[in-house]
Amino acid sequence: MSVESSAPVSSPPVLSLVGVDKRFGGVQALAGVSLDLVAGQVHALLGENGAGKSTAVKLLTGVYAPDAGCVRVRGTALQFQSTQAAWQHGIAAVYQDPALFDQLSVAENLFAGHLATRRGGWLDWKAMRQRARASLQSLQADFDVQAPLGGLSLAQKHLVAIARALTHDARVLILDEPTAALSRREIDHLYGIVRRLAQAGTAILFISHKLDEVFAIAHRYTVLRDGRQVAEGAIGEVKEADLVRAMVGRSLTQIFPKAAAEIGDPVLQARELGNGTAFEGVSFTLHRGEVLGFYGLVGAGRTELVEALFGLAPPTHGVATLEGQPIGRSPRASIEHGLVLVPEDRQKNGVFGALSIRENLVLPSLRRLARGPLLDRHAEGTLAQQLVDRLAIKHTDLEQPVNELSGGNQQKVVIGKWLATDPKVILLDEPTQGVDVGAKAAVHAFIAALVARGVAVILVSSELPEVMGVADRIVVMHEGRVVRIVPRAEFAASALVAAALGSVSARESTDVEAARAS
């Protein structure tokens, strides 16, 4: 059952899944999956959304119990009764959205659930602060442990989450897409920490959609597809294309297809837009049938810019016009003018999780579908079915709550609802963040289909290969300002990264480029 025979491991595994099965109702989430985590090694777990990665993590951390097979800690089969039990065995997980408490201090967050006490049950604040400082220092993170967590950046919160795991003496650290929302430099810092933890003897399970990351830090890999283990081995002995093929079950020759659409008249124009804080003096012109990429570091003001264009937080100065009409007043007005936004934070701003697929898809079109004063349920069903078919949304029933879909399919629902409104301009803010390779390809195909119909697209993305693959021109932003607008013929990765880094010297930027390539 175990994969030990095929894995050239030097020491026995700290934590293993041995031939585990897990079913949820009619869905086989995992079937006969085995996985060994070895001290000092970074093990990458790969697979599309819905492949069973999260289920595997939940089995390892005691959230679920396996239907068959077992979880072994240092060779002994164990049944965790709770996540707390898993923690006590030194198994800690850090999720993409670290589950922390914004209102509590950094130190309180580190010790939440196991506060240090003195005799008599009194809290030992002094010891907690000292230990908090020590564990943050070990991560080269120097921030005030008494400051409220809410004031930290997402990257800093990730560090707190990792430090929290370390205060538990974690011998196994599970990182679930830890880099999804981090900037390049924050990611490099995180890599350094992961490498150092591995050298210190921690076993690490690293889950990511970004293959370059996997090649940068992992020693071994396991690929899941539809709940089955389809590939495994040492990273040094595999090529990127092989991993992609294993993940999707077919080779994706064109991950970033460029749509050959005709670029037409200007449709959206921004002149000296600014909101006083996040972006300033932003001017650009968007043409019919064009994909305009917005590239920059996290914090460059791109999300704020598209939110301002959409009218969520109107710009304080400058003008934006759509076919001559001023825009950026309210989302409702924007939608009526044919400008729609697919927001970055899908869970928070995109999906209505408790509402059905149908209700989500028809929401912006309710009035158009209505028969006189009353809604037309039949027309809603027809429209929803069309959209579901067109975007190949995997579902069992149109009346299924959207919560039950995988991340990639939820994103398709978020995007799909705008198709029926016949938009002229669509703003996509990190549309492929945290979705799997297949769903990513679907989003890119969808962009191609849009521009072919003459829709103009603004694509905000922090993934350079994506922007370079899909965009006709790239607007590079740095600290709220447009530094360059580059036409497709002049796309060059190093120059784009250098521009995004702004004032940073060229030497440093080529280093970053090298890091990305490795």
Q: Which residues form the interface with other proteins (CB under 8 A)?
A: 97-99, 102, 150, 154, 157, 181-182, 278, 296, 298-304, 310, 312, 330-332, 334-336, 341, 343-345, 347-356, 359, 363-364, 366-367, 370, 373-375, 399-401, 403-404, 417, 429-430, 460, 462
Q: For residue 277, with 0-12 CB atoms within 10 Å meaning exposed, 13-18 middle and 19 or more buried, which class applies?
A: exposed
Nearer to other proteins, 257 or 434 (CB): 434
Tokens of 246: 């294993």
Q: Could you tell me the smallest distance in angstroms from the CB atom of residue 435 to other proteins?
A: 15
Q: Could you tell me the smallest distance in angstroms from the CB atom of residue 458 to other proteins?
A: 13
d(C-alpha 10, C-alpha 232), whole Å: 17
Q: Could you tell me the smallest distance in angstroms from the CB atom of residue 356 to other proteins?
A: 6
Nearer to other proteins, 336 or 422 (CB): 336
d(C-alpha 212, C-alpha 244), whole Å: 12
- In the sheet that holds 15-24, the strands lie side by side as 27-37, 15-24, 68-73, 76-78
Q: Do the Cβ atoms of 37 and 205 come closer than 8 Å?
A: yes
Q: Could you tell me the smallest distance in angstroms from the CB atom of residue 64 to other proteins?
A: 12
Nearer to other proteins, 212 or 404 (CB): 404
Nearer to other proteins, 26 or 236 (CB): 26
Tokens of 418: 């705008």
Q: Could you tell me the smallest distance in angstroms from the CB atom of residue 352 to other proteins?
A: 4
Nearer to other proteins, 56 or 248 (CB): 56
Rg of the chain's alpha carbons, rounded to an integer?
24
Bridge partner list, 123 = 117
Q: Could you tell me the smallest distance in angstroms from the CB atom of residue 374 to other proteins?
A: 4
d(C-alpha 417, C-alpha 167), whole Å: 45
Bridge partner list, 220 = 43, 234
In angstroms, how far is the first alpha carbon of the chain from the final one?
34
Q: Is 501 helix (H, G, I), strand (E, B) or coil?
A: helix
Bridge partner list, 27 = 24
Q: Do the Cβ atoms of 190 and 182 come closer than 8 Å?
A: yes
In three state form, how does the secondary structure of 289-345 look?
A: CCEEEEEECCCCCHHHHHHHHHCCCCCCEEEEEECCEECCCCHHHHHHHCEEEECCC
Q: Could you tell me the smallest distance in angstroms from the CB atom of residue 355 to other proteins?
A: 5
Nearer to other proteins, 135 or 461 (CB): 461
Q: Could you tell me the smallest distance in angstroms from the CB atom of residue 280 to other proteins?
A: 16
Q: Could you tell me the smallest distance in angstroms from the CB atom of residue 86 to other proteins?
A: 15
CA 200 vs CA 82, 132, 433, 499: distances in Å = 27, 19, 31, 37
Nearer to other proteins, 352 or 491 (CB): 352
Tokens of 47: 């697979």
Nearer to other proteins, 154 or 259 (CB): 154
Nearer to other proteins, 375 or 495 (CB): 375
Q: Could you tell me the smallest distance in angstroms from the CB atom of residue 340 to other proteins?
A: 9
Nearest by Cα to 71 from 14, 6, 141 = 14
Tokens of 314: 């109107």
d(C-alpha 209, C-alpha 45), whole Å: 9
Nearer to other proteins, 157 or 473 (CB): 157
Q: What is the DSSP string of 98-130?
A: ----TTSBHHHHHHTTS--B-GGG-B-HHHHHH
The alpha carbon dihedral of 448, 394, 241, 508 has a sign of positive
Q: Could you tell me the smallest distance in angstroms from the CB atom of residue 77 to other proteins?
A: 26
Nearer to other proteins, 13 or 47 (CB): 47
Nearer to other proteins, 48 or 304 (CB): 304
Q: Could you tell me the smallest distance in angstroms from the CB atom of residue 49 to other proteins?
A: 13
Nearest by Cα to 164 from 207, 131, 117 = 131
